Chain A
């Protein structure tokens, strides 16, 4: 069934690739129209390095294409989804307040399902041709949902664990090993509170290892199977929470908050979705230089994050120009540079001209970053319906004040 689905997607992709997308404008026209527009870019803003990168990208696009960029700072991407949905409900078909969203996973799924997105448009953007759609499958399938040209790939992410090698010389190598270690070291582990995406990813990571048959996670969740499939996860967390930081009664609210705990020495392990984040935090003085990164033997969850344009975006052309710039090798190389951000590129090196490849080749990984080989296997994200179900069940069990 799934293979058929993927085949169907590939076919659609080919058709779409053969006959250019149903867009009235050529790229030149788009660039011309974009001049003078202001793009309201809705992006999660909980990390100042990312904010600084976004500000930089805005300046570049302003100088080169005359497109203004305003970063609408979100603490949760769902806020932007909800605003677009509210505008649709209110009948605002044009002139919407959101022009570009940094998005993936269930937020993309919700927008696609409710026809809240403009497109397909990504293949019209000249830089899309350099995207690695073969080696990095997650650039075309977002949490099991086909992208269908509705969102432009922007960054690669893989779940990694940071640890302080000074207080934790040999980190655990599996989810079960993590529990054993936590039992011996009470109060030294925690994870961000779901529905924060790092926290939810930890749940997914644990579930993939603990569930009996992990293939069911690739399909839509069925209520009658959910209880049985997740029972090992809850049993695991029931044992883990009492030996966690603050006995599992208080949780950090997001990734950066947990990095601070690691820096303060309150915990020994922190979680991240960017393999090079530890290095860049060390470079910035936000983590001690004894911090390193590890992954689990069975692999860790990985995904791609994207840029999507709502159906009623006011500055649609500007948004496309901005997204295209963000896919350029220049912007991607800066993004991968741990000095600025340290998020993996979505581009395929062999598709790029040699001069452009050098931008990446010359990047230093940083002392705490694992090489692509050491990062090990990338596990596929479960179907987005699992996320919603997991978050609800988690809230009921652990956030209801019992």
Chain B
């Protein structure tokens, strides 16, 4: 082959690769918002009576009439709405007050290190533990009975599954606090928080007032989308609600999943209408939140103008610390109790510890645990690696062609986190059946991709964008093509954030319940689907084993994400972790 032809060939290659790169954002959007859009349509049509496969040929209001006549609907709606809003308020207020009271102290950094591991544990794992720790026959009462309480038998009081949903709120809030905390930390890095606060402090403001009046208004816009995501999630959560929410009636989303699974197929119309109601409920919650924001802004401005210094805020600082660390302690205690149950023999109330310890549960369920573990591992890895490829593609596209993601694009990214899962998963399932891949590994991995991608992208975006471009320019000047720069310079230097992003995506995938259930057509067992189906049985030993596996897998992912770069860069001082 002549040199000219070779060069032309190379140029052709480069052009093709470039056009592939240009197409990546569009392909990403299609792959990831396509199921959401198709799913919403596939849910909306049956909601109005149209689903020819089940005999619904015309549009009608009949499903809505049946929905509104369903016993307990109003109570289900109220429960979802109130517990969702309460969860978000509680979690956000604790995080904000703690940051306000303790930002810049040594304890603050320590708490940051404590909370991060909790983030990677699936919601439902914490819920399992909490259900045991708080129950009247649970660990807390076991530790103090009968010597302090006099209880030989557990007292008959309602704690878990209380009609007001307080345990549900507590369980959700405990898990959302680390998330909002880390989001707030990221936002704090974007503004000059330390000096702003110091300035306010020198003017005589107490720590909380200084932070709330000067720093908070700057960072709230940046944590707003995560807050919305928390709100949408809490209003429509299913797996945690199965463990902690009341059942007479259950929250709306749980009721919907039941209806979708009803042997009476006509119930799918009602369930679809309910899914649209769930969507409206999330929208209503977001509107209420938005109104709340207006009110807080209005009152907050007036409060700032009063110039009140609020120096005696020690009690509130301590209260915030107690709430945050108490929540963390309960979560830790919950997870510990699950680990203990997985090796417990006889362990009756009021014994503080099991009579015997053994591996019977692990041995007896080794096969199931391994099978579910492999499924979880393979789907999680596939979804997060594919998500990584798309995320790098989009970010590289942005870096090379200079298009910066707008706020609107960010909203698109958050869309699967804001739309209630149950509202589009049924429709998406129909799409999978039409494609004839329902219940397959590919379908489950794809459904996970939809939820994994936003987290991978968000976690990689900042380090990727702030990578020093001068390295690339130097490499280009030395004669490397842009692809070679990416392969040999940029990606290796970004190995650490890349692996962390994969680990984040993997942790998200491990915890996904509803997408696995719908895309897997009930035939695809992961640790989470298996554990939730066992949750109702209350068999704490085997749930404990599952919970431990749910904790271990993400933990290993994060451990690898830390260990691999450390080992690979052991001879490169410039690439070591400095902080």
Contacts and interface: CB of A to CB of B under 8 A. Distances in A.
- Asked if chains A and B come from one complex, the reply is yes
Interface of A: 40, 45-48, 51-52, 55, 70, 72-76, 78-83, 85-86, 89-91, 97, 106-107, 110, 167, 186-187, 193, 245-247, 249-254, 256-257, 260-261, 263-266, 285-286, 288, 395-396, 398-401
Given A55-B367, A288-B348, A401-B163, A252 B248 contact: no
Given A82-B265, A260-B538, A399 B367 contact: no
Contacts of B55: 89
A85 B263 contact: yes
Contact of B248 (A45, A86, A401): A401
Contacts of B163: 249-250, 401
B400 interface: no
A81 B261 CA distance: 9
A91 B55 CA distance: 12
A41 to B, nearest CB: 11
A257 B438 CA distance: 32
Contacts of B533: 45-46, 73-75
A81 B156 contact: no
A250 B539 contact: no
B348 A265 contact: yes
A107 B365 CA distance: 29
Contact of B249 (A250, A266, A400): A400
Contacts of A80: 522
A266 B156 contact: yes
Contacts, number: 147
B262 interface: yes
14 contacts: A40-B523, A45-B533, A47-B537, A48-B365, A48-B534, A51-B368, A73-B530, A78-B262, A89-B54, A252-B538, A254-B537, A257-B537, A257-B538, A285-B345
B71 A400 contact: yes
Contacts of B79: 401
A56 B11 CA distance: 61
Contacts of A256: 537-539
A250 B161 contact: yes
A263 B522 contact: no
- Nearest 5 A/B pairs, CB to CB: A401-B75, A400-B72, A187-B156, A256-B537, A253-B536
A72 B263 contact: no
Contact of A90 (B53, B248, B522, B537): B53
Contacts of A70: 523
B250 to A, nearest CB: 8
Contact of A46 (B156, B438, B534): B534
B60 to A, nearest CB: 18
Contacts of B439: 97
Given A110-B263, A256-B538, A256-B539, A399 B72 contact: yes
Given A81-B263, A264-B154, A285-B346, A396 B523 contact: no
Contact of A399 (B71, B348, B368): B71
Contacts of A285: 345-346
A250 B154 contact: no
B137 A266 contact: yes
Contacts of B136: 266
Interface in B317-362: 345-346, 348-349
B540 interface: yes
A72 B265 contact: no
Given A110-B264, A399-B248, 13 more contacts: A45-B534, A48-B539, A73-B530, A78-B263, A79-B522, A97-B523, A110-B263, A250-B158, A250-B163, A256-B539, A265-B349, A399-B247, A401-B79
Contact of A76 (B261, B538, B540): B261
Interface string B523-544: 1010000100110111110100
Contact of A97 (B71, B521, B537): B521
Contacts of B30: none
B114 interface: no
Contacts of B538: 252-253, 256-257, 260-261
Nearest to A40: B523
Contacts of A75: 533, 536
B274 to A, nearest CB: 15
A48 B364 contact: yes
B156 A246 contact: yes
Contacts of B152: 265
A72 B523 CA distance: 6
A73 B522 CA distance: 8
Contacts of A76: 261
Contacts of A286: 539
B156 A264 contact: no
Contacts of B534: 45-46, 48
A257 B54 CA distance: 36
B433 interface: yes
Contacts of B72: 395, 399-401
A204 to B, nearest CB: 19
B153 interface: yes
A308 B153 CA distance: 44
B246 interface: yes
A79 B261 CA distance: 5
Nearest to B142: A264
A382 to B, nearest CB: 18
A89 B55 CA distance: 8
Given A52-B364, A89-B265, A91-B53, A251 B536 contact: no
Interface string B237-275: 000000000111100000000000111110000000000
A257 B44 CA distance: 37
